[in-house]
Amino acid sequence: MRRFISFISIFLLALGGSGTLRAQGMTDPTHWTYEATKLDAGQYQLNFTLQLDEGWHIWAIDVGGDGLQVVPTFTFTKNKAVHPDGGITEQGDKITAEMEGVDGAVNYYSHKVVYTQKVKAAAGTTVKGSHQYQVCNDNMCLAPKQVPFSFQLP
């Protein structure tokens, strides 16, 4: 019994040094801002701007690789007054590289990326939803995170 308890203690101590448990105490390396701009009468652009702390990256929507990465997704709450115009686009300095443990080259962004969605709606309309994403550094990936958003159209 004593040997079993010692084994469990060593096992738990070893887990305490793992990236997964250390990540739980980390500060969030993502800094999101949200802005809606008017393009034309009844047409707006929603900008989701992400600034990442040094050393972190987020997967591109078209990630490449083996397809096992968690790519950013944007879900809009159903609203009869809001009509998406096309899909989400991304702008930034996309990096394409091979990564250990991933089959094939992957696409990702470091530092800054802006995701945009055009919508047709009346001025003053509120557009709500949530987005999910995962960020990684050279040692680990944080658990996927889902964050609500809300835009008040000008």
Structural domain count, the chain: 1
| Cβ proximity of 18 and 26 under 8 Å | no
Residue 128 belongs to some domain of the structure = yes
**Confidence (pLDDT) at 143:** 96
Place of tokens 């997967």: 59
Q: Which two tokens mark 90?
A: 């991304």
**Confidence (pLDDT) at 25:** 62
Residue 48 belongs to some domain of the structure = yes
Residue 57 belongs to some domain of the structure = yes
Between 41 and 22, whose confidence is greater? Answer: 41
- Residue 73 sits in a domain whose CATH number is 2.60.40.1230
Residue 142 belongs to some domain of the structure = yes
Q: What is the pLDDT of residues 76-98, one digit of tens each?
A: 999 999 999 999 999 999 999 99
pLDDT band, residue 24 (cuts 50/70/90)? low
* Helix H or strand E segment including 115: strand 106-120
Confidence (pTM): 0.81
Residue 18 belongs to some domain of the structure = no
Q: Residue 116's domain spans which residues?
A: 28-152
Annotate 52-97 with DSSP letters as a single string: E-TT-EEEEEEEETTS-S---EEEEPP-TT-EEEEEEEEEEEEEEE
